[in-house]
Protein backbone atom coordinates (compact mmCIF):
# COMPACT_ATOMS: atom_id res chain seq x y z
CA UNK A 1 0.00 0.00 0.00
CA UNK A 2 1.40 3.40 -0.96
CA UNK A 3 1.91 5.81 1.95
CA UNK A 4 1.01 9.46 1.39
CA UNK A 5 3.24 10.66 4.27
CA UNK A 6 6.79 9.77 5.31
CA UNK A 7 7.11 7.03 7.93
CA UNK A 8 9.12 7.92 11.02
CA UNK A 9 12.50 6.30 11.61
CA UNK A 10 12.11 2.99 13.44
CA UNK A 11 15.00 1.69 15.60
CA UNK A 12 15.91 -1.92 14.82
CA UNK A 13 14.65 -3.23 18.17
CA UNK A 14 11.25 -1.61 17.52
CA UNK A 15 10.64 -3.12 14.10
CA UNK A 16 6.96 -4.09 13.72
CA UNK A 17 6.15 -2.37 17.04
CA UNK A 18 3.28 0.03 17.74
CA UNK A 19 4.63 3.47 18.66
CA UNK A 20 1.64 4.08 20.93
CA UNK A 21 1.60 0.90 23.04
CA UNK A 22 4.61 -1.31 22.12
CA UNK A 23 2.39 -4.16 20.95
CA UNK A 24 3.09 -5.86 17.57
CA UNK A 25 2.28 -3.52 14.68
CA UNK A 26 1.04 -4.21 11.15
CA UNK A 27 -0.43 -0.80 10.32
CA UNK A 28 0.61 2.83 9.79
CA UNK A 29 -1.30 5.77 11.23
CA UNK A 30 -1.00 8.74 8.90
CA UNK A 31 -0.95 11.98 10.87
CA UNK A 32 -1.69 14.83 8.48
CA UNK A 33 -0.29 18.13 9.74
CA UNK A 34 -2.32 21.34 9.54
CA UNK A 35 -1.23 24.98 9.66
CA UNK A 36 -0.93 24.88 13.47
CA UNK A 37 0.76 21.48 13.86
CA UNK A 38 4.30 21.87 15.29
CA UNK A 39 5.68 19.12 13.06
CA UNK A 40 5.30 17.81 9.52
CA UNK A 41 2.94 15.01 8.47
CA UNK A 42 4.06 11.65 9.87
CA UNK A 43 3.50 7.95 9.30
CA UNK A 44 3.41 6.22 12.71
CA UNK A 45 3.62 2.40 13.13
CA UNK A 46 0.51 1.28 15.00
CA UNK A 47 -1.41 -1.80 16.05
CA UNK A 48 -4.99 -2.19 14.84
CA UNK A 49 -6.56 -0.92 18.07
CA UNK A 50 -4.31 2.14 18.46
CA UNK A 51 -4.76 2.97 14.77
CA UNK A 52 -8.51 3.14 15.30
CA UNK A 53 -8.16 5.27 18.44
CA UNK A 54 -5.62 7.64 16.89
CA UNK A 55 -7.83 8.27 13.86
CA UNK A 56 -10.60 9.42 16.20
CA UNK A 57 -8.43 11.97 18.05
CA UNK A 58 -5.66 13.54 15.94
CA UNK A 59 -6.00 16.80 17.92
CA UNK A 60 -3.22 19.39 17.44
CA UNK A 61 -0.05 17.26 17.38
CA UNK A 62 1.08 13.64 17.40
CA UNK A 63 1.86 14.00 21.12
CA UNK A 64 -1.65 15.25 21.92
CA UNK A 65 -2.92 12.33 19.86
CA UNK A 66 -0.69 9.95 21.82
CA UNK A 67 -2.15 11.20 25.12
CA UNK A 68 -5.68 10.73 23.78
CA UNK A 69 -4.88 7.14 22.77
CA UNK A 70 -3.47 6.47 26.26
CA UNK A 71 -6.62 7.85 27.88
CA UNK A 72 -8.79 5.58 25.76
CA UNK A 73 -6.65 2.51 26.47
CA UNK A 74 -6.99 3.25 30.19
CA UNK A 75 -10.77 3.50 29.82
CA UNK A 76 -11.07 0.34 27.72
CA UNK A 77 -8.84 -1.75 29.99
CA UNK A 78 -9.88 -0.25 33.33
CA UNK A 79 -10.94 -3.67 34.67
CA UNK A 80 -7.62 -5.22 33.67
CA UNK A 81 -5.68 -2.40 35.33
CA UNK A 82 -7.80 -2.75 38.47
CA UNK A 83 -6.43 -6.27 38.97
CA UNK A 84 -3.07 -4.76 39.91
CA UNK A 85 -4.79 -2.44 42.38
CA UNK A 86 -6.79 -5.17 44.11
CA UNK A 87 -4.27 -8.02 44.00
CA UNK A 88 -0.58 -8.82 44.02
CA UNK A 89 0.77 -11.66 41.90
CA UNK A 90 1.44 -13.74 44.99
CA UNK A 91 -2.06 -13.17 46.35
CA UNK A 92 -3.50 -14.51 43.11
CA UNK A 93 -1.23 -17.56 43.28
CA UNK A 94 -2.23 -18.22 46.89
CA UNK A 95 -5.95 -17.59 46.33
CA UNK A 96 -8.28 -20.53 46.84
CA UNK A 97 -10.52 -20.20 43.80
CA UNK A 98 -12.12 -23.56 43.08
CA UNK A 99 -14.81 -23.26 40.41
CA UNK A 100 -13.74 -23.33 36.75
CA UNK A 101 -14.57 -19.66 36.09
CA UNK A 102 -12.45 -18.34 38.95
CA UNK A 103 -9.71 -20.88 38.32
CA UNK A 104 -9.37 -19.45 34.80
CA UNK A 105 -9.26 -15.93 36.22
CA UNK A 106 -6.53 -16.99 38.65
CA UNK A 107 -4.36 -18.28 35.79
CA UNK A 108 -4.79 -15.35 33.39
CA UNK A 109 -5.52 -12.29 35.55
CA UNK A 110 -1.96 -11.18 36.31
CA UNK A 111 -0.89 -11.50 32.69
CA UNK A 112 -3.93 -9.44 31.63
CA UNK A 113 -2.90 -6.76 34.11
CA UNK A 114 0.73 -6.72 32.97
CA UNK A 115 -0.21 -6.40 29.30
CA UNK A 116 -2.65 -3.54 29.98
CA UNK A 117 -0.16 -1.78 32.28
CA UNK A 118 2.70 -2.00 29.81
CA UNK A 119 0.55 -0.72 26.94
CA UNK A 120 -0.59 2.30 28.94
CA UNK A 121 2.94 3.02 30.21
CA UNK A 122 4.60 2.75 26.79
CA UNK A 123 6.16 6.08 25.79
CA UNK A 124 7.18 5.39 22.19
CA UNK A 125 10.67 6.03 20.88
CA UNK A 126 11.95 9.56 20.05
CA UNK A 127 10.55 10.75 16.73
CA UNK A 128 12.78 11.47 13.75
CA UNK A 129 12.52 11.55 9.95
CA UNK A 130 15.48 10.54 7.80
CA UNK A 131 17.78 10.91 10.78
CA UNK A 132 16.55 14.38 11.73
CA UNK A 133 15.05 14.49 15.22
CA UNK A 134 11.59 16.03 15.59
CA UNK A 135 11.74 18.62 18.36
CA UNK A 136 9.39 17.82 21.23
CA UNK A 137 10.71 20.48 23.63
CA UNK A 138 8.00 22.99 22.68
CA UNK A 139 5.21 20.51 23.41
CA UNK A 140 3.41 21.06 26.72
CA UNK A 141 1.75 17.94 28.14
CA UNK A 142 -0.80 19.75 30.31
CA UNK A 143 -3.41 22.22 29.14
CA UNK A 144 -5.10 25.20 30.81
CA UNK A 145 -8.30 26.91 29.73
CA UNK A 146 -10.60 29.36 31.48
CA UNK A 147 -8.61 29.10 34.71
CA UNK A 148 -8.77 25.30 34.90
CA UNK A 149 -5.69 23.08 34.48
CA UNK A 150 -6.04 19.69 32.77
CA UNK A 151 -3.48 16.88 32.64
CA UNK A 152 -3.73 16.85 28.84
CA UNK A 153 -5.57 18.48 25.96
CA UNK A 154 -7.52 15.24 25.53
CA UNK A 155 -8.82 15.53 29.11
CA UNK A 156 -10.03 19.07 28.42
CA UNK A 157 -11.78 17.88 25.27
CA UNK A 158 -13.48 15.09 27.21
CA UNK A 159 -14.61 17.49 29.94
CA UNK A 160 -16.17 20.03 27.57
CA UNK A 161 -17.69 17.37 25.32
CA UNK A 162 -19.44 15.74 28.28
CA UNK A 163 -20.36 18.94 30.13
CA UNK A 164 -21.80 20.78 27.11
CA UNK A 165 -23.02 17.75 25.18
CA UNK A 166 -20.75 18.49 22.20
CA UNK A 167 -20.08 16.22 19.25
CA UNK A 168 -16.58 15.20 20.30
CA UNK A 169 -15.36 14.20 16.84
CA UNK A 170 -16.59 17.49 15.37
CA UNK A 171 -15.00 19.42 18.25
CA UNK A 172 -11.66 17.64 17.74
CA UNK A 173 -11.78 18.16 13.97
CA UNK A 174 -12.13 21.93 14.49
CA UNK A 175 -9.41 21.94 17.14
CA UNK A 176 -6.98 20.13 14.85
CA UNK A 177 -7.43 22.91 12.30
CA UNK A 178 -7.18 25.98 14.57
CA UNK A 179 -4.73 24.75 17.22
CA UNK A 180 -4.91 24.50 21.00
CA UNK A 181 -4.48 28.29 21.33
CA UNK A 182 -8.01 28.70 19.92
CA UNK A 183 -9.68 26.11 22.14
CA UNK A 184 -12.43 28.60 23.06
CA UNK A 185 -13.20 29.20 19.39
CA UNK A 186 -13.53 25.45 18.82
CA UNK A 187 -15.94 25.25 21.77
CA UNK A 188 -18.09 28.10 20.40
CA UNK A 189 -18.32 26.67 16.89
CA UNK A 190 -19.20 23.26 18.32
CA UNK A 191 -21.97 24.76 20.47
CA UNK A 192 -23.38 26.80 17.58
CA UNK A 193 -23.61 23.64 15.48
CA UNK A 194 -24.67 21.30 18.26
CA UNK A 195 -27.88 20.33 16.44
CA UNK A 196 -26.51 20.53 12.88
CA UNK A 197 -26.53 17.39 10.72
CA UNK A 198 -23.24 15.66 9.98
CA UNK A 199 -23.11 17.04 6.43
CA UNK A 200 -23.23 20.63 7.71
CA UNK A 201 -20.56 19.92 10.31
CA UNK A 202 -18.29 18.48 7.63
CA UNK A 203 -18.73 21.62 5.54
CA UNK A 204 -17.91 23.78 8.57
CA UNK A 205 -14.64 21.90 9.11
CA UNK A 206 -13.77 22.16 5.41
CA UNK A 207 -14.43 25.92 5.45
CA UNK A 208 -12.26 26.40 8.54
CA UNK A 209 -9.47 24.31 7.00
CA UNK A 210 -9.63 26.44 3.85
CA UNK A 211 -9.42 29.63 5.91
CA UNK A 212 -6.36 28.22 7.69
CA UNK A 213 -4.64 27.57 4.37
CA UNK A 214 -4.80 23.77 4.60
CA UNK A 215 -7.86 22.69 2.59
CA UNK A 216 -9.11 19.16 3.15
CA UNK A 217 -9.12 16.88 0.14
CA UNK A 218 -9.82 13.53 1.78
CA UNK A 219 -12.81 14.30 3.95
CA UNK A 220 -12.80 14.98 7.68
CA UNK A 221 -12.08 12.95 10.82
CA UNK A 222 -15.68 12.17 11.66
Residues 86-110 pLDDT 10s: 888 888 877 766 555 556 667 788 8
The closest alpha carbon to 162, from 187, 141, 197, belongs to 187
Work out the number of other CB atoms within 10 angstroms of the CB of residue 62.
26
Torsional sign, CA 5, 10, 15, 17: negative
What span, in angstroms and rounded, lies between the C-alpha atoms of 186 and 76?
A: 27
Write out pLDDT tens, residues 56-91.
999 999 999 999 999 999 999 999 999 988 888 888
Q: Does 143 have pLDDT greater than 50?
A: yes
Do residues 120 and 81 touch, judged by C-beta distance below 8 A? yes
pTM equals 0.80
The torsion angles phi and psi of 179, rounded to 5 degrees, stand at 90, 160
**Residue spans of beta strands (DSSP E) within 131-205:** 132-133, 143-145, 148-150
* Distance, CA of 174 to chain centre: 16
Q: Mean of the per-residue pLDDT values for the chain?
A: 89
The residue extents of the domains of the chain are: 12-75, 78-120, 143-211
Q: What is the pLDDT of residue 145?
A: 93
Q: What is the mean pLDDT of residues 20-41?
A: 94
**Residue spans of beta strands (DSSP E) within 76-123:** none
What span, in angstroms and rounded, lies between the C-alpha atoms of 171 and 194?
A: 10
Residue 120's beta-bridge partner residues? none
Residue 35 banded pLDDT, cuts 50, 70, 90: confident
Amino acid sequence: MTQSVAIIDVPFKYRHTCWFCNEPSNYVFEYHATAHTPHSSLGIPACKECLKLAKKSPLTSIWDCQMAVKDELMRIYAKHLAIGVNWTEQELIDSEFSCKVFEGFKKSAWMMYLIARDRVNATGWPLSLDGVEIDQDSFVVGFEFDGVKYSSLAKAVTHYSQTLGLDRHFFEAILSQVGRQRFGYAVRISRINIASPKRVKQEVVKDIAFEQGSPLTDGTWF
